[in-house]
Amino acid sequence: QVQLVESGGGLVQPGGSLRLSCVPTGSFIINFDRMGWYRQAPGKQRDLVATITRGGTINYVDSVKGRFTVSRDTTKNTVFLQMNSLKPEDTAVYYCTGYSTWYRPSGVDYWGQGTQVTVSS
């Protein structure tokens, strides 16, 4: 059973920074082809924030470009999200995701439980 666990969320003032981390837990062997972050604000759908492939290809939603940086440690299957210049509209539950074809050639999406990020003065 593969589980992803996020950490690093919290309350921060506008203009502040947070760093989210995501690590897999459980007794397993797996490699993720792609990892990343989504977020879901109250009353809204879950939307893409950023993804990074094993080869290092990165994708950001336009609203976070220049402020957020996604990175990963492929040897540890971990992914990070450095968030700078945070705005109130960044407030949401942030979910880690990992896509892998390790156990199923058609691919499986794994999700974390989410970590709350609140940007408020």
pLDDT digits (tens, 9 = 90+) for 37-95: 999 999 999 999 999 999 999 999 999 999 999 999 988 889 999 999 999 999 999 99
Categorise residue 105: left if φ over 0, alpha if ψ from -120 to 50, beta otherwise.
alpha
What is the predicted pLDDT for the residue at 104?
87
Q: What pLDDT does residue 44 have?
A: 96
Cα–Cα distance, 95 to 104 (Å, whole number): 22
What is the per-residue pLDDT across 94-107, written as a single tens digit (0 to 9) for each? 999 999 998 888 99
Q: Which has the minimum average pLDDT: 28-32, 105-109, 110-114?
A: 28-32
C-beta separation of 84 from 17 below 8 A: yes
What string of H, E and C letters represents the secondary structure of the chain?
CCEEEEECCEEECCCCCEEEEEEEECCCCCCCCEEEEEEECCCCCCEEEEEEECCCCEEECHHHCCCEEEEEECCCCEEEEEECCCCHHHCEEEEEEEEECCCCCCCEEEEECCEEEEECC
Which residue in the block uniquely carries the two structure tokens 């999700």? 111
- What angle (nearest 5°) sits at the alpha carbon of residue 96, between those of residues 49 and 65? 20
Residue entry with tokens 């892998």: 100
What pLDDT digit, counting tens, does each position of 3-30 carry? 899 999 999 999 999 999 999 988 677 8
- Report the pLDDT value the prediction gives residue 78, as an integer from 0 to 100: 93
